[in-house]
């Protein structure tokens, strides 16, 4: 690393509250446990989405820097792979302690760069922390199987790490998604090169700083950039597996490129999550749940409920959803009364507003229109108020495309069968929920719906890490899901050993009672 400038431990920008960042603040690379100033001439500016203030400049890593990160990870892996699962378990306990102690700091960086409200940002950290806690049980996860297959002959399995693995992250969960990746990779004995979103890099840098005091150098490296960085990580021969979370375009490209280069790849992608509302549902519960899941985090969750299918008389409740949505408070994420903050960028806001307009143009009714919402204290923020579109059809753009904003598209259906057919015809399969008091309807829904994560009277059924994140259809490419048992499987390869230790070789031995001497 001689050619790279090494920096002190505070090599990432501080983002306390809404304090203005210097436009000169840069986000560092984290290579071989050092914060390093990139030598690139190509930088991406990160803005606070509530204020447009510049938070930091993110480098597009040079090829030399990327090569250095892969080299350091590869070297670190050679030692780390020899550590015991018990050693790695202790490291996970240290990591969970460090993250817990720094949860507020992490959450504040998320509010500043991503825009979500502070409590939700704490939830972002908490859901990632749970993966680390689960990895503290790595000793159990790695238990193998054993059978005496013949007389004196045993076959047993061991799970071995792959080597260097790469993680490529989206903007919307700046702590949780890096924590879906590198703790599982390290606990299973791998080294990791992580690329956070170029729009929300700071939480990953805080996690790197916390990891620096826990893990040997080179085990976790953080690089930045966009397409060129991704293209390096998906082709470099030292990288054995790629984990991706983000949109469809990048996901397909990354999956194809990584697998063409002989790597394992797991790619979580876009979504259109439906809720079916039956007329026998607990109305209060269903409407509150739908409003929270559609508009919370400004709809920028991959498990946000973006479509509600009202069956029969439940169609009369659309106005009630709109009234609840109207009560939600839109504000900067640090404001105590905020329910939802801004969208990530002016471009994302523009796209969402165009999709709302397309719905009106194509004949839907915009029951609640959040366009042009005024937020007094943050006049420059990328705010879109909760928006409810009614009488949409599956042909409309607002249904066909992932809006990724606080917009709920409502559709009417006559029967549960019709609603189920509609959900199943959608190309995505991330999540789907039903609201009903009928066990029979819930059971039918659960067994027939083609979505990977199913909620029954639960709006955002993201499983805790003793399970795995199980999106399917167009929301996922790959075989092994993120975290939990599937995540451990993704980052490890099985080895089977068959050994023969003949009993008679032991029978010949006579115990000696003499003091051993050297001849
Ligand atoms: P994105 O696809 O724009 O970016 C994700 C990552 O891919 C970033 O690190 C980015 O640098 C890189 N990237 C972007 N375009 C690329 C390209 N053409 N070639 C190579 N790399 C590229 O996604 P985003 O806007 O940051 O995140 C929002 C999307 O992520 C939504 O579609 C959302 O549904 C999805 N998401 C899915 C899940 C899930 O678990 N299914 C979770 C969170 C977010």
pLDDT tens digits, 163-174? 999 999 999 999
Atom of ligand 1 nearest to the CA of 475: 41
Half-sphere exposure (CA, 13 Å, Cβ side) for 311? 22
Q: What percent of the chain has pLDDT over 70?
A: 95
Which of ligand 1's atoms lies nearest the C-alpha of 195?
9
- Contacting residues for 72 by C-beta, under 8 A, at least 6 apart: 1, 31, 32, 217, 218, 221
Beta carbons within 8 Å of 439's beta carbon, 6+ residues apart: none
Rounded to whole angstroms, the Cα distance separating 204 from 206 reads: 5
Q: Whose Cα sits closest to atom 22 in ligand 1?
A: 250
Nearest CA owner, ligand 1 atom 31: 247
Residues with CB under 6 A from ligand 1: 168-173, 195, 197-198, 226-227, 230, 245-247, 249-250, 253, 268-271, 302, 402, 404, 430, 469, 471, 475
Separation of CA 341 and ligand 1 centre (Å): 20
Query: Over 60: is that where the pLDDT of 7 sits?
Result: no
Average pLDDT score, the chain: 94
> For the ranges 261-265, 306-310, 509-513, which has the lowest average pLDDT?
509-513
Give the pLDDT confidence of 389-417 residue by residue, as tens digits.
999 999 999 999 999 999 999 999 999 99
Of the chain, the percentage scoring pLDDT greater than 90 comes to: 92
Give residue 440 CA to ligand 1 midpoint distance, Å.
38
Q: Is 73 helix (H, G, I), strand (E, B) or coil?
A: helix
For the CA of 198, the nearest atom of ligand 1: 11
Quick count: other Cβ atoms within 10 Å of Cβ 87? Answer: 10
Nearest CA residue ID for atom 16, ligand 1: 250
Contact between 393 and 418 under an 8 Å Cβ cutoff? The reply is no
**Nearest C-alpha neighbor of 403 from the set 475, 318, 298:** 298
Dist. CA 105 → ligand 1 center (Å):
24
For the stretch 313-326, pLDDT in tens is 999 999 999 999 99
Q: From the CA of 176, how far away is ligand 1's center (Å)?
A: 14
Q: Considering only CA atoms, which residue is closest to atom 43 of ligand 1?
A: 302
CA 295 to ligand 1 centroid distance, Å: 20
Contact 310, 341 (CB under 8 A): no
Closest ligand 1 atom, CA of 404? Answer: 31
Instruction: Quickly tell me which residue has 């700083």 as its tokens.
Output: 209
Question: Residue 497 C-alpha to ligand 1 middle, in angstroms?
Answer: 40
Rounded to two decimals, the pTM is: 0.94
If one residue of 247, 400, 480 were mutated to test the ligand 1 pocket, choosing by the most ligand atoms within 8 A of its CB, it would be 247
Closest-lying ligand 1 atom to the alpha carbon of residue 271: 34
> What digits encode the pLDDT tens for the residues 446-489?
999 999 999 999 999 999 999 999 999 999 999 999 999 999 99
CA–centroid distance, 280 to ligand 1, in Å, is: 38
Would you please indicate which residues are annotated as catalytic (active-site) residues?
302
Query: Cα separation of 208 and 30, whole Å?
Result: 7
> In a 10 Å sphere around its CB, with 0-12 CB exposed, 13-18 middle and 19+ buried, how is residue 307 labelled?
buried
The rounded distance, in Å, linking the Cα atoms of 400 and 236 is 36
- For ligand 1, what atom is nearest to the CA of residue 251? 2
Mean pLDDT of 196-220: 98
Residue identifier of the C-alpha nearest atom 2 of ligand 1? 247
* pLDDT-based confidence at residue 24 (cuts at 50, 70, 90): low
The CA distance from 420 to 415, in Å, is 9
Q: pLDDT by residue (tens digit) across 147-192?
A: 999 999 999 999 999 999 999 999 999 999 999 999 999 999 999 9
Ligand 1 pocket test: pick from 250, 461, 476 the residue with the most ligand atoms within 8 Å of its Cβ.
250
In this structure, are residues 147 and 153 in contact, taking their beta carbons and an 8 Å threshold? Answer: no
Residue closest by Cα to atom 35 of ligand 1: 246
Structure tokens at 83: 């550590």
């Amino acid at each position: 690393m001689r050619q790279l400038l090494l920096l002190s431990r505070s090599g990432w920008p501080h983002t306390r509250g809404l304090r203005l960042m210097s436009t000169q603040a840069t986000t560092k690379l984290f290579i071989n446990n050092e914060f390093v100033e990139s030598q690139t001439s190509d930088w991406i500016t990160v803005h606070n989405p509530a204020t447009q203030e510049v938070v930091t400049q993110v480098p597009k890593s040079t090829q030399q820097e990327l090569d250095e990160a892969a080299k350091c990870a590869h070297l670190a892996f050679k030692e780390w792979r020899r550590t015991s699962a018990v050693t790695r378990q202790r490291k996970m306990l240290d990591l969970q302690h460090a993250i817990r102690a720094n949860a507020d700091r992490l959450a504040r960086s998320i509010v500043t760069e991503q825009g979500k409200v502070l409590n939700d940002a704490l939830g972002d950290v908490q859901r990632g922390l749970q993966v680390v806690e689960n990895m503290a049980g790595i000793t159990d996860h790695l238990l193998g199987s054993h059978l005496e297959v013949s007389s004196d002959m045993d076959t047993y399995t061991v799970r071995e790490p792959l080597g260097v693995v790469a993680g490529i992250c989206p903007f919307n969960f700046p702590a949780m998604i890096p924590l879906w990746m590198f703790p599982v990779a390290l606990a299973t004995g791998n080294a990791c090169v992580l690329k956070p979103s170029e729009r929300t890099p700071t939480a990953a840098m805080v996690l790197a700083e916390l990891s620096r005091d826990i893990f040997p150098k080179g085990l976790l490296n953080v690089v930045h950039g966009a397409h060129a960085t991704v293209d390096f990580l998906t082709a470099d021969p030292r990288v054995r597996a790629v984990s991706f979370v983000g949109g469809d375009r990048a996901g397909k490209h990354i999956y194809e490129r990584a697998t063409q280069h002989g790597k394992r790849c797991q790619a979580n992608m876009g979504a259109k999550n439906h809720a079916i509302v039956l007329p026998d549902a607990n109305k209060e519960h269903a409407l509150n749940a739908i409003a929270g899941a559609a508009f919370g985090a400004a709809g920028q969750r991959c498990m946000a409920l973006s479509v509600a299918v009202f069956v029969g008389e439940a169609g009369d409740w659309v106005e009630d959803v709109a009234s609840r949505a109207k009560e939600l408070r839109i504000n900067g994420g640090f404001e105590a009364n905020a329910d939802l903050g801004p969208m990530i960028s002016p471009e994302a806001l523009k796209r969402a507003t165009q999709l709302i307009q397309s719905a009106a143009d194509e004949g839907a009714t915009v029951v609640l229109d959040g366009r042009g919402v005024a937020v007094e204290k943050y006049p420059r923020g990328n705010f879109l108020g909760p928006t409810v579109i009614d009488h949409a059809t599956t042909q409309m753009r607002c249904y066909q495309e992932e809006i990724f904003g606080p917009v709920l598209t409502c559709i009417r259906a006559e029967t549960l069968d019709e609603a189920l057919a509609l959900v199943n015809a959608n190309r995505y399969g991330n999540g789907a929920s039903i609201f009903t008091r009928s066990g029979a309807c819930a059971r039918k829904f659960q067994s027939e719906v083609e979505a990977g994560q199913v909620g029954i009277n639960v709006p955002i059924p993201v499983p805790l890490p003793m399970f795995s994140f199980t999106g399917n259809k167009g929301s996922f490419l790959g075989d092994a899901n993120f975290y939990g048992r599937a995540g451990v499987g993704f980052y490890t390869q099985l080895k089977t050993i068959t050994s023969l230790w003949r009993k008679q070789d032991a029978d010949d031995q006579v115990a000696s009672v003499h003091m051993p001497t050297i001849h």
